[in-house]
Amino acid sequence: MFAYTVRRLIMLIPVLIGMSILVFSIIHLIPGDPAKTLLGEKASPEVLEKMREDLGLNDPLLVQYKNYMVNLLQGDLGTSIKTKRSISEEIKPYLAATVELTFFAMLFAVIVGVNAGIIAAWKQNSWFDYIAMLIALIGVSMPVFWLGLMEQYIFAQKLQWLPSIGRDSILNPINSITNFYIIDTVIQGDFDGLKQILKHLILPSIALGTIPMAIIARMTRSSMLEVMKADYIRTARAKGVAQFFLVYKHALKNAFIPVLTVVGLQTGLLLGGAVLTETIFAWPGVGKYLYDAISVRDYPVIQSGILMIATIFVIINLIVDLLYSAIDPRIRYQ
């Protein structure tokens, strides 16, 4: 297992280097002038040129990339052109907010999706199977922004059960320690604050997790139906193993590998694709942070933010690979 893990880690190095080159190149091909965006269209050519020189934008791209990688290897993501603050410090609360939202969205997607898929396969061609797959089809097809607006209208405006925007209550702001509000409230014993944080998480988590939930449900059903036809399942059934244990103990483990693939991919996609949800619910996450940076051509923030999300995506896929080998030992011996 250790040797397999080391091999997988070594394989990440060229992937991360290639990813940094790709991100850096694409960002600098985006049309627009950061200096002109910051100073305005009426700024004189001399002032614009001085700004470009101060920002290092006049250096050749290879020099800019070398400087960027040197700083990156030292743990420095650079400085924001707009705020003049260190990106490494500035991005922490935004990244924490997105990770927290993504975690609860995937928790909802996995719990609901896996169990719905299992029961649909267990009760194949029953009314539950048809309804579950219909809901899954609607979930895949439903635009996130529309679902978010409907949630706000029904549960926040009409019923007034849940807050519609923000990450915490304006009247009871969280004293942040780690930037992860759930952890912060538990550490401080602020259970009223914890309750408020969870209320703020419900609507955006469901909106963000609906599409992954539908995909996971369909994949789980398909994989379970295939496994349930295996000889060892028929043997276990003939021996009188209870249906519940047959499904959840014997069949699920072998059916879970393709589901795990979907979970890993969807988690990475949610980290990078939560901008719509974050915008609708005024969630101060990294998607909104990058969107604001793109609007002012803040190159260091854009490339550092994208590279960080891409790195997390790669790490998640590494974790999925390691979980493959834990579930099926044959993988690490191949």
- Give the DSSP per-residue string, 62-85: HHHHHHHHHHHHTT---B-TTT-S
The pLDDT confidence band at residue 40, using thresholds 50, 70 and 90, is low
Residue 233, token pair as written in the block: 């399942």
pLDDT, one tens digit per residue, over 212-270 is 898 898 888 888 888 887 778 788 778 777 777 777 777 777 788 888 888 888 887 78
Quote the pLDDT of residue 273: 63
- How far is residue 144's CA from residue 229's CA, in Å, rounded to a whole number? 36
Q: How many CA atoms lie within 13 A of 101 on its CB side?
A: 35
In angstroms, the CA 179 to CA 220 distance is: 34
Distance between start and end Cα atoms, the chain: 12
Percentage of the chain modeled with pLDDT above 90: 2
Hey, where are the domains in the chain?
Answer: 2-89, 92-333
Query: b/e map of 206-238 (b: 16 or more CB within 10 Å)?
Result: bbbbbbbbbbbbbbbbbbbbebbeeeebeebee
Tokens of 309: 């999300």
DSSP state of 86: B
| Contact call for residues 97 and 178 (beta carbons, < 8 A) | no
The mean pLDDT value for 294-305 works out to 79
Q: Could you read off the pLDDT of 148-179 as tens digits, one per residue?
A: 888 888 888 888 888 888 887 777 777 778 88
Tokens of 188: 């401080």
Q: What is the pLDDT of residue 45?
A: 76
Q: What pLDDT sits at residue 334? A: 53
pLDDT tens for 6-20 read 777 777 778 878 877
What is the CATH T-level fold of the domain 92-333, as seen in this structure?
A: MetI-like fold (1.10.3720)
